[in-house]
């Protein structure tokens, strides 16, 4: 379906980062989303609203974005996005 563009992405069910943590949901583009900038955000739902937001533009020539040659490809992202 991703190649035919009938369904370009899928969503995960909502999940929590911990028992009292952030509620999240992931979206996966099965055939990629082009050379776009990715923005990740964790939104603080407390009155302090200490949101954590960061972006990056992937290097599509990196091995991380090529066809895996083993069980997994090399990870890419924001290594210290949230501690």
Q: What is the pLDDT of residues 9-49, one digit of tens each?
A: 788 888 888 898 878 878 777 666 665 677 778 888 899 99
* Phi and psi angles of residue 39, each rounded to the nearest 5 degrees, phi first: -125, 125
CA 27, chain centre distance (Å)? 7
pLDDT digits (tens, 9 = 90+) for 54-72: 777 777 777 777 777 777 6
Q: Which residue has the higher pLDDT, 54 or 5?
A: 54
Which tokens sit at 61?
């020539």
Spatial contact of 77 and 56, defined as CB atoms under 8 Å apart:
yes
The predicted structure's pLDDT at residue 23: 81
Quote the CA–CA distance of 28 and 10 in Å, as a whole number: 5
Per-residue tokens: 55: 């972006």
């Amino acid at each position: 379906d991703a190649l035919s563009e009938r369904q370009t992405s899928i969503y995960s069910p909502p999940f929590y980062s911990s028992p009292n943590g952030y509620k999240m949901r992931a979206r996966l583009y099965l055939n990629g989303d082009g050379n776009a900038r990715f923005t990740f955000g964790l939104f603080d739902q407390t009155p302090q609203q200490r949101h954590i937001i960061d972006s990056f533009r992937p290097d599509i020539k990196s091995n991380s974005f090529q066809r895996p040659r083993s069980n997994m490809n090399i990870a890419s992202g924001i290594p210290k996005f949230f501690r």
